[in-house]
Structure 1
Amino acid sequence: MKRNILSTLLIVTPLILASPVMAGNPAQVQKLLETGQCKACDLSNEDLRYAHLIGADLRDANLQGANLTEANLEGADLTGANLKGADLTGAMVTNASLNDANLDNVNFTQAMIYDADVTGASMENLNITNAQIYNTGIGIGGEEP
């Protein structure tokens, strides 16, 4: 009997204590993940860790404060997107368009940023610690690497 109670507690306790991820706009998150299309969506503060967003259309999307840790944004169009304060730690940002995007306070720690277009982007206070940046206009002191 004690063994059954202990087994039940071991199974149920993590379910009770687990804090579910609450999406601010689950329909838009689902649309993005299923179709790769979410132009002008509000994805602020969303948890998009490890998301495969290859070629995604995120033009003018609000991704302020979003968690994009280790997301794959290869070929994504983020033209005019607001990524202020977003976490892109370890993200793959290859051949992406970040034209006129707000990249202020973005965490690009250990990100791989290759051939990304950042023309007209706001880039105040970026964290590029251990980032790999090639053929992209992001650098220390305003100098292209």
Structure 2
Amino acid sequence: MKAILTLTLAAVLTAATALPAWAQNAAQIARVRGGASCPGCNLFQGDFSGLEARGLNLSGARLRQADLSLAVMNRTRFSNTDMRDVEAYGGVFSSANFAGANMTNASFVGAYLDGAAFPGATLTGANFSGASLQRATGLTQGRLNQACGDEATRLPRGLSIPHC
């Protein structure tokens, strides 16, 4: 009997550790979809496509694999946010703050990012093809060399980006 109990307990513990520790939080995603700030929230794989919400505070949130396509999120704070693998096609992020954000493999194809701040942001594998970053701040040539764009990508004077 003790052996069966031990095996059952081991199976339960194994199953529990196999579950994702950071599955998305539907209530927090709904909150943001409703236009509320949610710093530090778990918005993993959230669908925010077409959202129009300006000036939100999403600092430190987990937005990994979220869909921000065609969203209008001007002046939103994404500082220190996990934005890996985000899809933000055609989004408008004017004067947004991406300081310290991890934007690894994010897609900002055709996005409007004029006036956005990027100090300390990780841009490895990020795609800015057709994006407008003309008045963006905090961009460095070294970080842009890890991202990619195309001939339609607009950057601050003196900076360039490798082609995708």
TM-score by length of 2: 0.69
- Give the superposition deviation at 1:37: 1.1
CA distance in 2, matches of 1:88, 1:26: 20
Paired residue secondary structure (1:29):
helix
- Give the superposition deviation at 1:35: 4.5
The match for 2:121 is 121
Work out whether 1:49 is the aligned partner of 2:53.
Answer: no
CA distance in 1, matches of 2:107, 2:120: 19
Q: Is the 1:99–1:117 Cα contact (8 Å) retained in structure 2?
A: yes
- Larger RCO of the pair (alpha carbons < 8 Å, separation 6+): 1
- Give the superposition deviation at 1:85: 0.4
- Which residue type is aligned with residue 127 of structure 2? N
Q: Is the 2:33–2:48 Cα contact (8 Å) retained in structure 1?
A: no
CA distance in 2, matches of 1:34, 1:138: 35
The match for 2:68 is 68
Alignment length (residue pairs) = 123
- Please list every run of 5 or more consecutive structure 2 residues that lacks an aligned counterpart in the other structure: 1-22, 147-157
User: How large is the Cα RMSD of the aligned pairs?
Assistant: 1.9
Change (3 A) 1:50 1:92: same
**Percent identity (aligned):** 22
Higher strand share: 1
Q: How do 1:73-88 residues align onto structure 2 when only pairs under 5 Å count?
A: 73-88=73-88
